[in-house]
A and B are shown apart, each in its own frame.
Chain A
Amino acid sequence: MNVGGAGGFQFPRWTNWLRVGLLVALLTGPPYLVLLVWLGGSPLTTDVGYQPEQPVPYSHALHVGQLGVDCRYCHTTVEEAGFAAIPPSATCLNCHQRVRAQSPKLAPVRDAAAGGAAVAWVKVHDLPDYVYFNHSAHVRRGVGCESCHGRIDRQEVVRQVAPLSMGWCLDCHRDPDPHLRPVDAVTVMGWTPAEDRRVLGRRLREAAGIAPSEQCWTCHR
């Protein structure tokens, strides 16, 4: 080190390398940050578009879109419980005892109902374990199924359409008006009100006293 002396302080020679380092940092730093943000919010991370193959090729497009079955016929607990339960095999057989009773595609369901192994569906909308989402709290306040699950009536195989990220949750919690509908229209797919959604949503929010929380412990415990 060359400190002091007549010339005062002089940077030692090895510090010349810092200039090179600084250049490398300047060149790689911004792309790194961009990559980090882009990857963090990309569907690759949030899993948007996740569309696993199910053990039974159940078509929501057929049952909801063409036949008009209400969501709550199968997902009975959605208004009472946190989970919108996957229906027991017995629910399928209510119709399929008569309709296409011998279809080979339904074999796992028939097996399960006859006492075999239960049908193991693959979870599509998978929140992290530290998130405690509650369906009833949303459905009973007029958040439509469509708002998070998309046009289920058009999905042959269910896929994740929304990022289900915390920022996405908070967007709605901070401004719920465009997503609210009358409670009796919650399960309607492609619902469009006559008036402006924002005006209607505001009226519904004020009438029902809806005040979505932004507090951590509402979802994380």
Chain B
Amino acid sequence: MAHDYWRSLEERRGLVTPQLDPELARYIEDELPPATRRSFLKLMGASLGLAGLTSCRWPRELIVPFTKRPEGRTPGVPQQFATLMEHGGAALGLLVTSFDGRPVKVEGNPLHPSSLGGTHVWAQASILELYDPDRSRQLLHRGAVARREELLAFAEPHFAALRARRGAGLAVVAGESSSPTLVALRQRFETELPEAWWVADEPVSWRGQELASAAALGAPARWLLHLDRVRSLVVLDADILYAHPNAVRHVRDFAATRRGGDAQGRLWVAEAALSITGAAADHRLPVRPSRVGLVGLHLAREVAAQGVALPAELAALLAGELPPLEPAAQAFVRAAARDLVAHRGAGLVVAGPGHAAATHAALALNAALGNLGATLTLLPAPAARERSLGDLASALEAGQVETLLVLGANPVHTAPAALRIGERIGRVAASIHLGLRVDETARACTWHVPQAHFLESWGDGRGWDGTYGVQQPLIEPLHGGRSALELLSLLLDAAPASGHDLVRASFVRLHAPKDPETAWRLALRDGLVASSPAAMTPAWRSDPASLAAARERALEAAGDLEVVLVPDSRVWDGRFANNAWLQELPDPLSKLTWDNAVLLAPATAAALGVRHGDVVKLSLAGEVEAPVMVMPGQAPGTAVLPLGGGRTAAGQVGDGVGFNPAALLPAAGPPPLGGLRVSPTGRRHLLACTQDHHAIDRVGFRGRELRTPEIVREQNVGEVHESGHESAHADDAPIFRSPELTGRNQWAMAIDLSACIGCGVCAAACQAENNVAVVGKAQVARSREMAWIRIDRYFMGDEGNPRVSFAPVACQHCEKAPCEQVCPVAATIHNDEGLNQMVYNRCVGTRYCSNNCPFKVRRFNFFNYAKKVSHLRRMAFNPEVTVRSRGVMEKCTYCIQRIERAKIAAHNERRPIADGEIVPACAQACPAGAIVFGDLADPESRVARLHREGRAYVMLPELDIVQRTRYLARLRNPSPDVEEA
């Protein structure tokens, strides 16, 4: 395989040089103001004197025991509780670790079918959200602190009057929720207040797919994908591996088809913006959103041409002339169709929520090819009864809404600016906002009620597959907040019930257990009740008018520079904007932190005459200024706008980060949105991208083509790669001595690059587990991010449609570690179990180790990042891990705290440590199960077997440093029908 690897366009074109970027040079000047020698000495002397004085006496510490210790509670021993997190209208089962009563770490619930032990980045970062000092703490009335009695004094007569009017003039704005208790409350709301409106506000939603299915099936249907059974997967502009409510499960199932053998699948993706799903594809076609429907129709026609009979009701889709596709797209469609036909019953076609015609084509194909029922289950979905934000805006304009209740949503930020929601809410007589923070919507409303975080309140929810689960609180509300359930109950009931009573009552109603108390306790312990609603039997009750309308829309062309709205990979629609862990987590593909930018394909940017980092003015229905990021792999003629930036009332972290694409959007009208205008402003913007940081191959850019295949290895299915863990200089005398590896266990890790999709959950989990500091945009721009594990992303080949490879890189725990050879104070030394130990107290900060590390995985504390951390935020620290101070080096420890905990437990019980008993945070969070940790001393352990596999290799084997982390080469499964470019 010919290799042409590159990490960024700048690097490819030789724009990244070891010389300082002028913008960086300016930053450095800011940071180190020219100081005279005299003032330097004065400062040093003073700080030495002060440092000496502070360490003179021992602190006096207090132990405050329980007055009566709760049963089952051992001080200092963490406990885990099952709970749920709702995201995008479906619940993810979680196990949350509580340390002496405070939640500190989130893991996936292995019993929950949506999780199977994996998590997404938002679940990992929810701990920081819980302890966010910017959360609202008080009830507000017109911006002034109010008492609870004042709200009740207002609400009781007000809502009594509303009930008398059957709810006329009342509108509730809420996100999508799977909570059965909320559904029940909403049904009561609709019966008791039939005139009131329920407005759905979920900026990123898969509801479109459910509703589009209704045109073919007569009723909305939810698509439950069984990706583990799929051998040929065709995805039409749908990021099912990341931006999907069931993505965690999808990744687990998908990874099962990527490890070679009979289960190996092939993924075809046609999409506009390069997504995680597209990066995992074996064949990928960049296509504008307005052409996705056409690709779907051509795919159906191509399959039909191969003698497969489509359902008669849907055959109308193909009637008449279809505009032709470009040759490349036509070849893609033809080969994908052949692959689908070859894998009848083991294929699957999925289309994204914005593509009705493609969804209809996908349904027809899945039915005709026998995939329905095999790889795809259709579940009944609720009928569309809710109003849209557009309806709300007109009603607000007409003065029909007198009372507005916002449950956790933030329409002022997320709704198209043309709807002028914020301004219109201001005219409503009584508006109540329930939210985690005093956000943009809260400021427009007359009342603000602090919301309880999901880790503080009772609730319930269903997974994407319908599994019922209970959301149990881990801690009392820190700021006395209430949940949406409690607020609705306040509105509907004369005697408002508590969240616990509401949820328990609906549990008993739903499951009618013989012994309610025992059943409830079991549900709390497991976090779920195994139950799944019956699948829909697909009855084709198609609606020819809607089908034809969808087909017509698919054939419409959109003007040039088509807008592609995508959720931000970190802050989603902006709701997580104040979460510093997420802001600093690099985007999986663009590697951008602390920002969002308008993404343009290289060809598009060249045509527009803009460069990476230029600030441009975008205009459509409105105007907004945004920095440009040139992104390979994106469809030409499109501009990708990630949502979620430009918050003005998120908090200290999120305010003013990025731009808000909602400012551009017209009031109504479904996509496609063409005709975006881009005009340069002449200004530049610093984008803190980590993609060129910590280059392993800094030594020689010229050697890049030679070296990168040694760092990230890939091979086609069936190819056998020569084994890569022996040294290329085997005959030479070793440079470094081997340490004495006398320990009973020899720890090691294996990372399967074929299963890894590059999503970055491992990095988020590591941050939460290991108290990794957040450094901010200015420091990230200077390559000073502290993440212990980074996900290297490499592009290969054509800039217009590159292949993408990922490699999570943390400390490799080399047996002959180069870092250890150069430390002058023995602060990094080897232990007898093969771990490369870092001793913070010995470290004097020479940074020699980092210089000598071939993988650039060591991180230096340039400042005391923990100093400014507030008391509330400190509650999120893991007490098992030292919080590092300024001037010391740190790096991945293989989660030594977890190793030691398991060792002590096993040795106390006089038994060996079982394989799989120790799971580092990254491995535990990984939805794909790509990271395996274990003991090499046991030849039958999973990690030992993976190390022996044919795909296993070490990075840079010629260094002969015997890393304990081995990688498994990524497998690609190209179709024989596609000519390799």
Contact = CB atoms under 8 A, between A and B. Distances in A.
B70 to A, nearest CB: 10
A82 B881 CA distance: 14
B880 A132 contact: yes
A118 B69 CA distance: 12
A119 B64 CA distance: 6
B910 interface: yes
A211 B745 CA distance: 13
A124 to B, nearest CB: 9
Nearest to B76: A83
Interface stretch (A23-31, A86-94, A169-177, A193-201): A86-94
Contacts of A134: 904
A215 B904 contact: no
Contacts of A208: 910
B64 A118 contact: yes
Given A130-B882, A216-B837, A120 B75 contact: no
B907 A88 contact: no
Contacts, number: 111
A77 interface: yes
Contacts of B832: 213, 215
B939 to A, nearest CB: 21
Contacts of B900: 132, 217-218, 221
A69 interface: no
Contact of B831 (A85, A211, A216): A216
A105 to B, nearest CB: 17
Interface string A199-213: 000000000100101
A75 to B, nearest CB: 11
A218 B839 CA distance: 11
A22 to B, nearest CB: 24
Interface string A121-133: 1110010011010
Interface string B801-837: 0000000000000000000000000000101110101
B19 interface: no
B882 A221 contact: yes
B619 interface: no
A36 to B, nearest CB: 13
A137 B744 CA distance: 17
Given A80-B77, A217-B831, A217-B893, A130 B840 contact: yes
B158 to A, nearest CB: 38
A89 B67 CA distance: 5
A111 to B, nearest CB: 9
A116 to B, nearest CB: 8
Given A83-B76, A121-B62, A136 B833 contact: no
B68 A89 contact: yes
Contact of B841 (A77, A87, A90, A130): A130
Q: Kindly state the interface size class of chain B when it binds its partner.
A: 35 or more
A129 B64 CA distance: 17
B76 A82 contact: yes
Interface string B882-905: 100000000001001100100010
A123 B831 CA distance: 32
A47 B61 CA distance: 14
A115 to B, nearest CB: 8
A215 B831 CA distance: 6
Contacts of A213: 832
B579 to A, nearest CB: 26
Contact of A217 (B75, B896, B904): B896
Contact of A89 (B65, B881, B882, B904): B65
A85 B897 CA distance: 20
A126 B64 CA distance: 14
Contacts of A115: 67
Contacts of A121: 62-65
A86 B74 contact: no
A85 B65 contact: yes
B663 to A, nearest CB: 47
A54 B880 CA distance: 28
A61 interface: no
B835 A85 contact: no
Contact of A136 (B65, B829, B897, B908): B908
A215 B67 contact: no
Given A88-B66, A123-B61, A217 B835 contact: yes
A50 B59 CA distance: 12
A90 B67 CA distance: 6
Interface string B338-381: 00000000000000000000000000000000000000000000
B458 to A, nearest CB: 25
B586 to A, nearest CB: 26
Interface in B927-974: none
Contacts of B69: 85, 88, 90
A221 B880 CA distance: 8
A115 B66 CA distance: 11
Given A77-B74, A113-B67, A215 B61 contact: no
Interface string A88-116: 11100000000000000000000011010
Interface string A30-47: 000000000000000001
Interface string B902-922: 001001101000000000000
Contacts of B67: 88-90, 112-113, 115, 118
Contacts of B880: 132, 221
A123 B837 CA distance: 30
B683 interface: no
B13 interface: no
Contacts of A126: 58-59, 61
B60 interface: yes
A221 B831 contact: no
A154 B744 CA distance: 41
Contacts of A220: 839-841, 882
Contacts of A62: none
Contacts of B881: 221
A63 interface: no
A132 B63 CA distance: 17
B897 A120 contact: no
B62 A123 contact: yes
B76 A85 contact: yes
Contacts of A122: 60-63
Contact of B837 (A82, A136, A215): A215
Nearest to A139: B908
Interface in B836-883: 837, 839-841, 880-882
A63 to B, nearest CB: 16
A130 B885 CA distance: 12
A121 to B, nearest CB: 5
Contacts of B63: 86, 120-123
B707 to A, nearest CB: 32
B886 to A, nearest CB: 15
A21 interface: no
B262 to A, nearest CB: 42
B60 A137 contact: no
A17 to B, nearest CB: 21
A149 to B, nearest CB: 15
A157 interface: no
B76 to A, nearest CB: 4
Contacts of A132: 880, 897, 900
A90 B910 CA distance: 33
Contacts of A87: 65
8 contacts: A85-B76, A88-B66, A119-B64, A122-B62, A123-B63, A208-B910, A221-B880, A221-B893
Interface of A: 47, 50, 52, 77, 80-83, 85-90, 112-113, 115, 118-123, 126, 129-130, 132, 134, 136-137, 140-141, 208, 211, 213, 215-218, 220-221
Given A88-B66, A140-B908, 16 more contacts: A118-B64, A118-B65, A119-B65, A121-B62, A123-B61, A126-B58, A126-B59, A130-B841, A137-B904, A213-B832, A215-B833, A217-B831, A217-B837, A217-B893, A221-B882, A221-B896
Q: Which 7 pairs, one residue from A and one from B, show the smallest C-beta to C-beta distance? A: A215-B831, A83-B76, A123-B61, A88-B66, A90-B68, A86-B65, A85-B75
